[in-house]
């Protein structure tokens, strides 16, 4: 670790998926699943699932910007979920599964806004991108049983059929940015 660590907070469907993807990335020091973007303090998973808290399932990624840039974090984010579906990722439906970037400062807002504009101009997706970019006001860590979920439950059907293909895609597309396996 060369310098000051930074945080990125992102929601793109089930937080288990994003957590598993970012665990692969060189320069990522910690990933915490949680909730953000809503109005209810200290929400529980059950409350968020009731769709009345306004929160999205998110991950907070602590990373070393000397090893991986915020833009690279976002490029992986856009490569591993569908940013064109409102409140839905595959069979996961509801506002808690929306595509959202919660920025920590003005620089992150600028990088996210610029990348979103580039993707739109390139027509990187068939449909318009609906990803929200909003300032982070509060992050609430998820219950412990949600953390490190994929690594602990790799053979569970959701992990096998939903998360494993996303991890495989990242391993292929971003092979030069991944942690070496021992």
Question: Looking at 14, 17, 49, 159, which residue is catalytic?
Answer: 14
Identify which of 61, 58, 66, 9 has the alpha carbon closest to the alpha carbon of residue 34. 58
DSSP string, 129-166: ---EEEE---EEEPPGGGTTHHHH-TTSHHIIIIIHHH
User: H-type helices in the chain, by residue range?
Assistant: 15-22, 45-49, 70-79, 106-122, 149-152, 157-158, 164-173
DSSP string, 37-48: SSSSSS--HHHH
17 is catalytic: no
CA distance to 13, 18, 38, 47, per residue, from 162 (Å): 11, 11, 26, 24
Q: What is the dihedral of CA 171, 122, 136, 38, to 10 degrees?
A: -90
What's the distance, Cα to Cα, between the start and end of the chain in Å? 19
Residues noted as catalytic: 14
């Amino acid at each position: 670790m060369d310098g000051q660590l930074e945080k990125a907070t992102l929601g793109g469907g089930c937080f288990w998926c994003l957590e598993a993807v970012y665990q692969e990335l060189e320069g990522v020091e910690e990933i915490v699943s949680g909730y953000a973007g809503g109005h209810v303090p200290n929400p529980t998973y059950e409350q968020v699932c009731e769709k009345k808290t306004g929160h999205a399932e998110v991950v907070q990624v602590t990373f070393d910007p000397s090893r991986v840039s915020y833009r690279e974090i976002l490029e992986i984010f856009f490569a591993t979920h569908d940013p064109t579906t409102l409140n839905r990722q595959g069979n996961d439906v509801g506002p808690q599964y929306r595509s959202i970037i919660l920025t920590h400062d003005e620089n992150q807002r600028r990088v996210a806004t610029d990348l979103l504009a580039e993707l739109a101009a390139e027509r990187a997706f068939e449909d318009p991108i609906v990803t929200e970019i909003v300032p982070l006001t509060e992050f609430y860590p998820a219950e412990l049983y949600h953390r490190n979920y994929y690594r602990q439950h790799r053979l569970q059907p959701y992990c096998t059929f939903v998360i494993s293909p996303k991890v495989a895609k990242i391993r292929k597309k971003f092979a030069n940015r991944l942690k070496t396996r021992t």
